[in-house]
Amino acid sequence: MTQPSQPNPVPAIRILGRMGSPLGYMIRDFLYRSEVPFEWVELVDDEDARTRAGVSGLRDSRLPVCLFPDGTRLECPTIRQITEHLGWFREPSQREYDLAIYGAGPAGLSAAVYGASDGLVTVLVERSAVGGQAGSSSKIENYLGFPEGISGAELAERAREQACKFGAEILIGREGVRGEFQPGKVIGYLADGRTIVARTTICATGVDYRQLGLPNEDRFLGAGVYYGAGASEASLCGESDDVYVVGGGNSAGQAALHFSRVARDVNMIVRGESLHSSLSRYLLDRINSASNVHVFTNCEVTALEGDEILERITVTNRQTGESQTCATHWLFVCIGGEPRTAWAEEVGIVRDAAGYLVTGPDLLRDNQLPPGWPLDRNPYYLETNMPGVFAAGDVRHGSVKRCASAVGEGAMAVAFVHRYLAGV
C-alpha cells in the first residue's frame, strides 16, 4: 500500500479571478499550504476578464478559472476537483486498517509517520490541506532542529513525504463526520458517505479558528477577513496597504511581522493590557523594533463594513469606549481556536466544557474509572473513555498548543495503540 509522492507541478497553476473572491482565496490558501506553485492573476475589469480568462466579465460565475500546466481548464472549481486533478484524491485501499488517524496537522502527521514506520496499516484522513494550523504559519522558529525557522507549509510537506515513504495512506479532501463503535473496531463515516474501518483511531483534529462574532463577518470571509496568519496573502498585499491583525498571541505576532515586510503599516488590535504575557520574547522584541508595526492594546474590532469586499473596520477602546473607523482591505483574525467535536458527544466520548476530548488520568473522578469503562486497566495517557480511541494534539483537553507537543503526542499515541493492540 505504498503511495507515490505528490507530483511537484512546475510551471505553476494559473488562477484567474477578481479581487475579493472568497473562492479565489480558498484556492490560494489550499495551494500555498500544499506547496504547489501557483500564480494569481487578478482581473481588473470586464474586458480583462474576457481577454485573459475567456469569460463574459468580472461577474461571470465561472470565475475563478484555474489553468493547469497540462492545459486543463477548471472553472469555479471546488478544492476536491483540484485535488482530483492533481492526482491526490484517492479511495481508501483497505477494508480494514490497524490505525485510522483523523486530521493531518502536526499531531496526525506524526502519528502517521510513527504508525506506518512501525508496520501498522495506517490511514490518515484530512478534510483540507496537510499541515493544519501550522501549515498556515509563515515561519515556525521554535521547532527543534530548525535554527533558521521553517515555513509551516514546508514542514508539513516534509512530514507528508515521510509518512508516504513509510506507507501511510493519506486521504486528502475527506472529512470525518461520525463514528460508530463495534467490538474491536471503529467505523468512521466520511462526509462523502465512505466509511473507514479501523482497529484503533487517533483523533488529531485540532481546533478551528475562532471568529470575531460580528455582523457581516461571514460575508467578508476571504474578501478582506481572513483567519490565521494568511501566509498565502502576503504577496498580494501592496506597500500602500494598511493591514490589521487581531490578537496578541504568537500566531498574531508572526502574522504582523510577516506582513510588515510588504505592507505600509501593520496594526495589532489586542484586547489585553500588553503583549508581554501572551507573546514569546523573540517575537515581542521584533515587534517592538519594527517601525511599521503598531500595537493597540485594550482595543477590539467592533464593526466590519464594505460593499463586495471589506472597506472599513471600527476599532473600539474597551476602557474609554472611543471608536475609530479605519480604512483597510486586510483583516487577519488570530484569536485562537475551538475544537469541533460534536460527533464525540453523540457517541459518548467525554469532552470538557469547551469541547476538548478528555483522556487518560483526566478521566478519573475521585480515583474512579469513567462510567461504562469496560477494561480492568486504567485508560492510557492519551486514550479517551472509548478503549482504542485516542486523542493527540490541540484537540485534547490540557494540551500545550505547540507544534512540538502535538508532534510528541502523535508519536506517543502510537505507542499506546501498540499496547492496546497487544492487549496489555
Ligand X SMILES: Cc1cc2nc3c(=O)[nH]c(=O)nc-3n(C[C@H](O)[C@H](O)[C@H](O)COP(=O)(O)OP(=O)(O)OC[C@H]3O[C@@H](n4cnc5c(N)ncnc54)[C@H](O)[C@@H]3O)c2cc1C
Interface with ligand X (CB under 6 A): 102-108, 125-128, 132-134, 136-137, 140, 142, 175-176, 204-207, 228-229, 250-251, 254, 340, 393-394, 401-404, 406
Least Cβ distance, residue 195 to ligand X (angstroms): 13
Least Cβ distance, residue 248 to ligand X (angstroms): 13
d(CA 163, CA 166): 5
User: What SS3 state is found at 381?
Assistant: coil
- Candidates 92, 128, 90; CA nearest to 108 is 128
> Which helix (H) or strand (E) element contains residue 67?
strand 65-67
360 in Cβ contact with 346 (< 8 Å): no
Strands annotated E in 278-417: 293-296, 299-306, 310-317, 323-327, 330-333, 337-338, 389-391
Least Cβ distance, residue 125 to ligand X (angstroms): 5
d(CA 329, CA 306): 9
- Candidates 243, 280, 284; CA nearest to 260 is 243
* Sign, Cα dihedral of 229, 231, 236, 239: positive
270 in Cβ contact with 299 (< 8 Å): yes
Least Cβ distance, residue 44 to ligand X (angstroms): 31
**Which residues, 6+ apart, have CB-to-CB distance to 380 below 8 Å?**
360, 390, 416, 419, 420
105 in Cβ contact with 127 (< 8 Å): no
